[in-house]
Every structure is written in structure tokens, then in C-alpha cells.
Structure 1
Amino acid sequence: MKEILDAILASDSTPADFGNLPLPESYRAVTVHKDEVEMFDGLSTREKDPRKSLHVDEVPVPELGPGEALVAVMASSVNYNSVWTSIFEPLPTFGFLERYGRTSPLAKRHDLPYHIIGSDLAGVVLRTGPGVNAWRPGDEVVAHCLSVELESADGHDDTMLDPEQRIWGFETNFGGLAEIALVKSNQLMPKPAHLTWEEAAAPGLVNSTAYRQLVSRNGAAMKQGDNVLIWGASGGLGSYATQFALAGGATPICVVSSEKKAEICRSMGAEAIIDRSAEGYRFWKDENTQDPKEWKRFGKRIRELTGGEDVDIVFEHPGRETFGASVYVTRKGGTIVTCASTSGYMHSYDNRYLWMSLKRIIGSHFANYREAWEANRLIAKGKIHPTLSKTYSLEETGQATYDVHRNVHQGKVGVLCLSPREGLGVRDQEMREKHLPAINRFRNV
């Protein structure tokens, strides 16, 4: 690994240099273990501690197959699927790996007693398999997390509809929280030249997810002038949704849980902000009963901020806790678009407010390659910025995941994999200087 790192850090390494580097037999990776899936039995979700389940192991380098690439990972980041994997909810991910392993002899590589997690990376291509023409050793890349086979016609209009669609590093093995990762070549995209490795690794999953959910025609198809309610507007997903709304001429109504998070939204340019903690919204009276009076109070507050208008789009991801309110406050003919359920999967809402007001609920899951490419292009152009707030070492991934699990973080948290320190990897210093305040926005909180 030292030879690989030295080549990456050198300013004069060529594609041939990278192609001639010997691959190590093993590398360090963050894993969960199959024989520990019951370790949290009897504990509530909140009590489950990723620091106990996540390990840094030495693992063998996987076989490289057709259409694939091995990437030296300089940095990665923690997503909520890292939390789910680490606490074995809603199901242990080993079932995903077993099912994938049954699809082909090559896929059998993924069915192991350990799962290398992580759905983001920024790094350098080391090797490409047969049939890869667009990428070569030495290319500096980021990766999106859509893994598809595309042997079925279903995926050829929108690859997210491929029956064999999976999320890399969650439903596949050999993810990005490691020194080396195995990806399909059609996951790769150019690394934004003005960003460091850790900054470039941070947007991938959440930026692409927010783009499809809010901007794409496969999601809400946001337009200029729309009022967009964004839950968790300073978080991993919401911070990108807020930027997309502002960049696209819409008005974000940012829902946050503290004044600190409200200040982050103001620094991005948002003006309509609801601090749900300070204003005391309680959408549930008890475990089984929602409070429509709170929906109405919430809707009234939104109209105070928008000059009397209801929201055109709700950017949903908390799920059970907020979904009833989301359906209620959306304007007639408006759209609720959801990509997650971090507070619970079993949603409950009053359907009268949906059908009688002709509202739509759209499910949105990650993004196809084109959407991910467009989202990354906006990062590369400096139109959308990383929301990295803190960076951890590979050995500290358990703590990083714990922080995301307990929602004590802002924006995204990064993980240094091969990179020996923060601040490396910038190739366009002039562009970086132009956007430095925005790049550091979440670090300065």
C-alpha cells in the first residue's frame, strides 16, 4: 500500500506507473461480521452502538472481473446506510450478499462472512477489468453507489428500475470505507479538481439522491418559483436539497432542530427557516396517535414564511415521525417525494388530504448514472458544494457512524482511508480559492 500511496502523492506519476504497481495481497477495510448479527438483540435502535460492531480488518484483495475497477481509496464518508449496516437494521446485510452471491459465479465473491461497507469514495484507479475502455490506471475518480447488471429490459429507460439494482457497499461487498474498493466501471466519475480527497468523497450518495429526488423528472421535477419544504435541511441529504432549491430558483423552507442548524441554512442563503425544537412541534400525541392540530399549526407557520402560499414539494426522508404533517401541508396538486424513513418505515397519514387535493407521493431511491453524473458535474463546476463538517481516520469509523446514528453531526462526516492527512488532492487551486468560503461552510460551524 505504501508504493500505491507514494505514486498517488507524487506529482509526476503516469498511467503506466500505476499500471505497473504490484497489487498488495490484502488491505485494511471497515467491516461487520456475520457471526455478530445478534449482538444487539433486545436493545432499542438508539441503544445500538456502531463502535462495537464495526471493525478495521485486514482483508484479501478481491478478484477483478469484466467491467470492473479496483480503486485506491483516499477518502470515503459515512451515510445512513452505514448506520443501518452497523446496527443490523432493518435486516443484517448478509442476506443481501447471499442473494447477490447466488446470481453468478463472479457475484459469489461478495458472499463472505464479513461485509466491507461504505457507499462513497474518492481515489485513484489501480486496475480495470476486461471491457473497460473509459477509465485507466491513474485516473482520479469519485464513485456513485448504483450497481446494476442491465441484462433485463426493465432498466434501460431508467437504470434504477433494473431488477438487479443494488447499492454498492450496502447490498454488495467491497465498499468504500477501505484502502481499496471494487466497483463497476460505470460507477466512476471524474473527481472535482478543486476539492480535497475528503471533500470530493462526501457528496456522492447524498448529492445524487437529492438531485434525483428534487430536480430530476424521475423525482419532483422542481421548477423556478416552487416552495420546497426540506426536512433536516442542514443534514446530509437536506444540505444538498437546500442548495439545489436555491440554485434552481426555488424557495426552500428549511426545517431544523436547533439554532446552530438554522444558522447553517442561513449561511447557504436560505431565509425561511423553522426550528421545530424551539417552536415545539409534536406531531404525535403518543405512540399510536397523531395530532392534526399540530399539522395545522405547522402549515400556518409555513404560510407565514411564504407570503400565504403552501408548499409545492416536500423533500421527505424522516418518514413515520413527519409524514402525516408532510401530506397535510402540501398544496393542492403538490408532491411529497420520499427517499428514506430514518424515524420509522411504517408511515401513517390522513388519506383525505391526499386524494381530495390531488397530491402525489413519489418514491425516490438513489439515482441512475446520468443523474449521478449531472449531480457530480454541478459539484465540479462549483454550483453545489460539499457539506463536509468533520473528518475521521479509518480506525475512527465506528465513532463517525455513532455520531451520524445519534444525529450529533452536521452535513456529512468524512473518513480518511489511504490519505495520510486532510487537505490533499487539490488540482485546481484557483477555482478552490474562489469557492473556499462555501467549501468550508459546514466546517466553520
Structure 2
Amino acid sequence: MKQIIDAILASTATRGSAVAPEDFAALPLPDSYRAVTVHSDEVDMFAGVPSREKDPRRSLHVEEVPVPELGPGEALVAVMASSVNYNSVWSSIFEPVPTFAFLRRYGRLSALTARHDLPYHVLGSDLAGVVLRTGPGVNLWRPGDEVVAHCLSVELESADGHNDTMLDPEQRIWGFETNFGGLAEIALVKSNQLMPKPDHLTWEEAACPGLVNSTAYRQLVSRNGAGMKQGDNVLIWGASGGLGSYATQYALAGGATPVCVVSSPEKAELCRAMGAEAVIDRTAEGYAFWKDERRQDPAEWKRFGQRIRELTGGEDVDIVFEHPGRETFGASVYVTRRGGTVVTCASTSGYVHEYDNRYLWMSLKRIIGSHFANYREAWEANRLLAKGRIHPTLSRTYRLEDTGQAAHDVHRNVHQGKVGVLALAPGEGLGVRDHELRQRHLRSINLFRQDPPEPTHERNGTGGLAARRVGSA
């Protein structure tokens, strides 16, 4: 593994690649690598424990696992950095079902996919790194290419997926419904998951946007989602979180007015720092949409709608960016304008949604389900990052061995934006090629950082590593 790291650091220390593709291809692969896993014999470890009290630090392991066999149309990637998404939290607490059910189903598809059906599951649906090997039939990517990966895994053997790959019957989320994910030193991906790494971002910054940026793009911007237009009022739940922080950026960049809902003064200030003016601190204003576990409170929906109109000059919202689910869905349907759209991509507070259908059908509102993004949408979202139009919302970086703590923090919602995880990268601040573009956007890039890293270079004048270690943060 040391040879791989040294080759990557030598390459990114120069304007052009210092290591030829054939040299990267000739680097010996280790027999095993470190990865963040859950184990099939521990799926009942939280039996009887309420969801909020389940602790990912107990279920997540960092261990050596064998390097998987490389198949046609696939690539092995040296992972410099990854990140924690909520699907990794779900995996770690074995909800709504243990992910081993996904792996068993995938393993039955073919002899090649049987590799994924293992008693351990390597998690992670984001990465930034360098291609090490490509399988037969891969033409676009070569060893040594610096890449990020989106998390859409498809087979595309059915006609259903060829208009929108998200409709492929064998559509899966890599690292959640497949094995060999990005929270590891090496990852196995399909080559059509790869996209160019933005040159002005560090490894950890580039690793964080993939899943959430693409999801927000499809949900708000794409014709497959809400189709947001200039002048729209967009209600964004959790507007400073992993998903919401990108939704807020897309609303601002697209000429819409985000109405940002957050849960603390600090998160409200982050939204204002992004450029949002209409911000609701739901904790400070005391919104409680449920009277008890069974009854919602329509009076609170009404009070919430009045507050929104105060911030928008008397207008209701055209679009609601929904992902909390059960806790907020009734209010979301109520406050949407006549003919407006609720677009939902998750249910972090519960999957069983309840709302008063009179406010939907009689006001001709729509509910749209949105799940991740197709390859084109993911590529467009990544292109906007590479151009500096959308920025990563990285707040903190953890070491690979501290992924359990990172998942715990996300589960408890004590984080802001996204949290990164260093895999092979020996420290923060590495991997930048376009320093000029970076300097133009440095404030926005660091907006969510609790402790921005000091400027670093890949190597110092004597050839030694000059990066700040994460452990010193």
C-alpha cells in the first residue's frame, strides 16, 4: 500500500502526472486493505433498542479484507478520502433492514455479482481517489486518473433503464446495496460511476459532495424532480445539513428564493452566510407538528405557513425539498402553494408519512419521489462543482479508524454540512491542482469548516510529506 500512496503523492505534487498510466498499472496490489464494515452475525445486536439510541460505534469495524476480483466494466480505485452519508448510518444500525438482504439478492443475479454476498459489508457511497486497475471493456478511464465516484450501480439489461437509469430494475446504491464501498483504502466500482475529480478541491473536499450533490440536483433542478425555475420559493428542511446545504446552493444559483429551516442559531447563520435571507429556526420558534405519536397539529401547520409568508412577501412555497419524512410531511403538504410540488428523497425521521389529503387533491398539489440521480444528472452536478458554481460543505474530517464516531455524530445530527473520512490520504489539504480557482472560491469552500486546515503542499523541499495530520486537529 505504501507504493501506491507514494505514487499518488508524487503524481499530485506536479502539474502533470509524474507517474505514467502504465506505471500505475504496474503497481503491485496488496492482498488485503483496511475497510469499514458491518458483520452479518451482529445484525441483532440492537434488538429492542430505540433507533435514536443505537450506537454506530459498536457495530462499525475497521479491519483488513481481501481485495475483490476485478470484473468486466469495473475499476479498482485507491481511495484517498470518503465521507459518511445517512445510508451508512442506516447500515450501521441495521435499519430499515440489515443490508445483507440487499447483498444476498444482488449475489443471486450472476456468478460475478456473487462476490458481493459476503458475511461482511464494506460500506460507503462516496470516494475521491486514483484508478489502479480497469477491467475488460473499460475505455474511458486509465490507471492514474484522479476521480470521484457517484453511487449509482445499474445493470442496464432491461429496457426500462435506458430513458432514465434510475428506473433500471437492477438499480442499486453502491456501498449500501452493493459491497466494496468507499469507506476503505480500495474500492470496487463500475467504470460508469467514475467522474473527473475537481482540480481545485482537496481529496476530502472532493469526496464529500457526490451522493448529496447529485441527489439535490435531481430533486430540485432536473426535469425528473421538481424542475425548479427562477423566482420559485423553495422550502428546504435541514438547510445546513448534508442534503439541504446543496439544495440551498442550487436554489440561490438558480434564481429561486430558499426558505431555510434549521434547528439552531449556528445553523441559521450558516444559511445566511451561504446567501439565504429567509431562515426559520424551528427550535427557537417552537414548532411542534405532532401533538403526540398519533395526532398531528394542523394549527402548527397554519402557524408555520404564516411564518413562511412573512418571509416571502405573502407568497406560499412553490417547492418543498423534503427528506425528514414522518415528522414534517404533513406540514410540507399543507404549506405548499396551490399547484405546487413536494419532492421527497428520504425519511430520516420515519418512513410512514401522514398528511391530510384534502390539502393535496383539492389544491392540485403533487408529490414526487426522487432517488439519487442518473449518470447524466450526477455528471452535471459534478461539472458545477468543478466550475466553482457549487461548493463542498465539508465541516469536519475524521480518520478511517474513527468512522464509527463520524457516523455517531451524523446519527445524532450534531454535524453541519458533510463529514469527511480520510482513507489513504495521510493528511488534510492534499490533492489540489488548480490553486488559482481554489483561491477565488476559498471562502465558500471553507464556509462549513469548523477548523480549516492550514495550506499544505504534497511534499516539502527535502521530499518529505508536509501535510497536517488529522490527528493534530
TM-score by length of 1: 1.00
Report the equivalent of 1:105: 111
Report the equivalent of 1:337: 343
Q: Distance in 2 between matches of 1:27 and 1:108?
A: 20
The secondary structure found in structure 2 opposite 1:290 is coil
Residues 330-389 of structure 1 show CA distances to partners (whole Å, capped at 9, x for unaligned) of: 000000000000000000000000000000000000000000000000000000000000
Residues 179-223 of structure 1 show CA distances to partners (whole Å, capped at 9, x for unaligned) of: 000000000000000000000000000000000000000000000
Residues 398-419 of structure 1 show CA distances to partners (whole Å, capped at 9, x for unaligned) of: 0000000000000000000000
CA drift of 1:13 comes to 1.4
Q: Distance in 2 between matches of 1:223 and 1:42?
A: 46
Report the equivalent of 1:9: 9
Task: Work out which of the residue numbers 151, 156, 167 in structure 1 matches 2:157.
Answer: 151
The secondary structure found in structure 2 opposite 1:427 is coil
Q: Distance in 1 between matches of 2:329 and 2:33?
A: 43
- Aligned pairs for 1:356-371 within 5 A: 356-371=362-377
User: How many pairs does the alignment contain?
Assistant: 445
Task: Work out which of the residue numbers 411, 422, 433 in structure 2 matches 1:416.
Answer: 422
Query: 1:69 and 2:75 equivalent?
Result: yes
Q: Distance in 2 between matches of 1:235 and 1:34?
A: 30
The secondary structure found in structure 2 opposite 1:285 is coil
- Aligned partner letter, 1:189: M
Unaligned runs of 5+ in 1: none
- Aligned partner letter, 2:38: V
Unaligned runs of 5+ in 2: 12-17, 452-473
- Aligned partner letter, 1:50: P
CA drift of 1:146 comes to 0.2
CA drift of 1:34 comes to 0.4
The secondary structure found in structure 2 opposite 1:10 is helix
Moved more, 10-19 or 375-384: 10-19
Report the equivalent of 1:133: 139
Q: Distance in 1 between matches of 2:409 and 2:151?
A: 22
Q: Distance in 2 between matches of 1:320 and 1:309?
A: 25
The secondary structure found in structure 2 opposite 1:353 is helix
Query: 1:303 and 2:309 equivalent?
Result: yes
The secondary structure found in structure 1 opposite 2:441 is helix
Q: Distance in 1 between matches of 2:77 and 2:61?
A: 21
- Aligned partner letter, 2:438: R
Residues 257-307 of structure 1 show CA distances to partners (whole Å, capped at 9, x for unaligned) of: 000000000000000000000000000000000000000000000000000
- Aligned pairs for 1:36-435 within 5 A: 36-435=42-441
Q: Distance in 2 between matches of 1:21 and 1:285?
A: 61
Q: Distance in 1 between matches of 2:321 and 2:274?
A: 17
Q: Distance in 1 between matches of 2:413 and 2:156?
A: 36
Q: Distance in 1 between matches of 2:253 and 2:101?
A: 40
Report the equivalent of 2:40: 34
* 4+ residue segments displaced more than 2 Å: none
The secondary structure found in structure 2 opposite 1:264 is helix
- Aligned partner letter, 2:366: R
CA RMSD of aligned residues (A): 0.6
CA drift of 1:14 comes to 1.6
The secondary structure found in structure 2 opposite 1:85 is helix
Q: Distance in 2 between matches of 1:415 and 1:190?
A: 19
CA drift of 1:444 comes to 4.5
Identity %: 85
Q: Distance in 1 between matches of 2:8 and 2:257?
A: 42
Q: Distance in 1 between matches of 2:110 and 2:318?
A: 45
TM-score by length of 2: 0.94
Task: Work out which of the residue numbers 423, 447, 460 in structure 2 matches 1:441.
Answer: 447
Q: Distance in 2 between matches of 1:55 and 1:420?
A: 20
Q: Distance in 2 between matches of 1:436 and 1:17?
A: 34
The secondary structure found in structure 1 opposite 2:147 is strand
Q: Distance in 1 between matches of 2:182 and 2:25?
A: 21
For the Cα contact (< 8 Å) 2:290–2:327, is it kept in 1? yes
Residues 5-24 of structure 1 show CA distances to partners (whole Å, capped at 9, x for unaligned) of: 00000031121210110111
The secondary structure found in structure 2 opposite 1:386 is coil
Q: Distance in 2 between matches of 1:152 and 1:217?
A: 22
Q: Distance in 2 between matches of 1:424 and 1:14?
A: 20
The secondary structure found in structure 2 opposite 1:336 is strand
